Structure 1
Amino acid sequence: MTVQYTDRTDRTGFVREWEQWHREKEEVLAGPHGFLAITGLHWLSPEPARFDDAPGAWSGTGEGVVVELAEGEELTVDGTVVRGRYAFGVIAERDSVYVAAGDALIEVAKRGGHDILRPRHPGNALRAAFSHTPAYAPDPRWVLEGRFLPHPRPRPVTVGAAVEGLEHVYDSPGQVEFELDGTTYRLTAFNGGAPGSLTVLFTDATSGVTTYAANRSLHLAAPDDEGRVTVDFNRAGNLPCAYTDLATCPLPPAENRLPVAIDAGERIPLERGGRD
C-alpha cells in the first residue's frame, strides 16, 4: 500500500528529509576524491605498467597488486610513506585499498576478478564542472509498503556490468514484493551496506528516457519482524556509471526490469545529456 502524508507538516518534513538525502549523496559523489575525481580505470596485468595519473609501475601478480616506485616517487599507505617495491597482497572481490599520492588518492581494487587501479584527482575536469543531478520532485505517492520474501538460503546471482564483458556475483537473501496501482511486483534484492539492509538494482519504463538507461539503485532499511519494508522510490539513485565510463557498476538482474514508469528519484545526469 502507499504510505499517506495527510497534513502539511508531514509533507514539509518529507521533502526536507529527501533534500538532505540528495544533498549528502551528491557531496559524496563530488567530494575531493569521489567518483567524479577518477581520472582513469586501469586493468592490471602481470607485466608492470606505468600510467600518466599515478606514480609507479603497477602489476597484478600471484601475490596480489605490486607497485614499483622509481627514485623520487612515493606513496602513503596507512599513514606510512613507502618507496621502492610495495606489495598490497591479494585484494578481495569488491574491496578497495586507498593510498595517497600528493593531493590524489589511488584506489587499488578488485572487480569481476580483475585487479584495477583508479586514481582520483580533486582537479579532474568532470568534478570541477559538476553542479547537480536532476531529479523528480519528491512525492509521497512513491513511498510504498513492501514485504521481504527471504530465500531459504542466500542465492548467488550473476549480473552484468557497465564495463562490457565484466560480471559481478552477489548473494541475494530474497526478494522484495510491493504493489503499485493494483499490480504486484517482485524485485531481487542484494545485501545492503548496513546489517540486515537491502539494495535493489532496477530499471523501469523511464530508463533511457528520463532516467539513466543502465540501472538505478534503491537502498532499503532492514525489514521489521514481520518482514515489512519501506520502498521509497523517491530515493532511487544513480550509480557512478551514470556519470563516468570509469566505473564498473553492476546491472540489474533480468527480473528487476519493471514494465511500469517509476517517475521518482534521480534522473539522467547533465553529464549524460540530461535536463532539469
Structure 2
Amino acid sequence: MALSQRYVTGWQEWHDNRIKDLNRPYGWLSVVSQDWLTEAEPFTSEFVPGQWLLRDEDIYYYPDEERTAHGDLLTVDGKEARTPIHIPHGYNSNSGTGSSVPLFYKDLEVETITRVNAQGEKIHAVRVRDPREAARKGFADIETFPLSEEWIVPATFLAAEIRSHDVPTVEDGIYETNFAIGSIGLRLNGRRFDLGVFGHRAGSLDTGYFSNSVYVHIGDLTNGRETYGGGRLIELDPERLDEITELDFNRAVSFPCSLSTFVACPVTPAGNRLPFRVTAGEYVPPVSFERVATYKG
C-alpha cells in the first residue's frame, strides 16, 4: 500500500518542526563547553567570569568581584549574582537539562549537569551555550532515506516493571540514568525482535518544567556510515503506549551527540542492534566537529 498524502504531509510537518527545534538559539548546536567539577577545587570557565565550586555534591558560584563592580556578572533566576550563591540541581524550561533555574551571562546560557561515573559516583559539570555558535553551525535540513511504507512495521508494546539503571554513553567514564519501561515486539526481515523501550524523566511541576521522553534506541548496519554511529531513536507518545500498533522507522532520528562533542548520549543497547540496514529515517546531520573526551575521571 502506497503512503497516503495525509501521511506524507504529516511526516513533512514533523520533520520541519524537528529541523526548526535543532536550530534553536539555545539548542544542542549552541553548546560550546562542558567542564567537569572536582570536589573542593574552584573552577573558572573561559566563557563566564567567577568561579564554580563543588562541595558535598552541591554547586556554588562565586562572582568575580572586579567584574561584578562593573556590572559584568551572572544572573541566577533573573537576579544578579553579586555574592556567592548556591546553584540548585534540577531542570528548567530554557535548556531542558541542568540547573533548576535559568542561568545567564550576557547572552550565554549556563547550566550545571549531573551524571554518574563508572564507579557509580555522581559527577557534575558546567555547560555553556552560545546562540552565536548555533547560528554558525545552523543548517537548512537533514537528508533522510526515501519515505517507505515498508518501514512502518506492525508492533505491540509490552509494559514491564519500571527499572532505573545507569547506562554507558559514547564518552568513556560517563553514564546516564535511564528507565527501562518495557519492549516493542515486531517482525523484521522474517525475524522476531523485542526492542527495549526507555524513558527519561526531567524536571518537576515544582520548577515549572516537566517532560517525559519515551523512545526506542535502535542500531543497524547503516550506523557509522550513512547514519550516526551511536544509533538512532524513535520517540513514542508516553500517554499512548498501550495503543501502539506500529513502529514508524521513517521517524528514526539522530541523538544530540551527533551535533556536539559536549553531550554524551547512551550507547545502543545490545538487544536493540538490528543485524541489517535500516534504510529509513535520518542520515547523519550535516554538522562537522571533532569528538574529544571531556571527562578525565
Paired AA for residue 256 in structure 1: N
How does the TM-score come out when normalised to structure 1? 0.85
Q: How many residues align?
A: 263
**2:163 equivalent in structure 1:** 155
Alpha-carbon separation, structure 1, partners of 2:189 and 2:172 = 36
Q: Are 2:105 and 1:96 equivalent residues in the alignment?
A: no
**2:44 equivalent in structure 1:** 50
Which of 101, 108, 129 lines up with 1:120 in the alignment?
A: 129
Residue 202 of structure 1 contacts residue 256 of structure 1 at CA under 8 Å; is this kept in 2? yes
Q: Are 2:151 and 1:142 equivalent residues in the alignment?
A: yes
Q: Are 2:46 and 1:37 equivalent residues in the alignment?
A: no
Question: CA 1:230–1:187 in structure 2 vs 1: closer, same or farther (change >3 Å)?
Answer: same
How does the TM-score come out when normalised to structure 2? 0.80
Question: CA 1:79–1:141 in structure 2 vs 1: closer, same or farther (change >3 Å)?
Answer: same
Q: C-alpha displacement at 1:15, in angstroms? A: 1.9
Alpha-carbon separation, structure 2, partners of 1:168 and 1:229 = 30
Kindly, what percent of the aligned residue pairs are identical?
26
Q: Are 2:223 and 1:214 equivalent residues in the alignment?
A: no
Paired AA for residue 261 in structure 1: R
Answer with 133-142 or 257-266: which moved more: 133-142
Alpha-carbon separation, structure 2, partners of 1:216 and 1:127 = 24
Q: Deviations over 1:115-160 (max 9, x none)?
A: 1111111111x64132132222222221122111222x22334421
> Aligned to 2:49, what secondary structure does the other structure show?
strand
The unaligned stretches of length 5 or more in structure 1 are: none
Q: C-alpha displacement at 1:69, in angstroms? A: 0.6
Alpha-carbon separation, structure 1, partners of 2:19 and 2:85 = 34
> Aligned to 1:170, what secondary structure does the other structure show?
strand
Paired AA for residue 19 in structure 2: E
The unaligned stretches of length 5 or more in structure 2 are: 117-121, 202-209, 290-297
**1:231 equivalent in structure 2:** 247
Question: CA 1:213–1:51 in structure 2 vs 1: closer, same or farther (change >3 Å)?
Answer: same
**1:19 equivalent in structure 2:** 12
**1:181 equivalent in structure 2:** 189
**2:204 equivalent in structure 1:** none
CA-atom RMSD in angstroms:
2.5
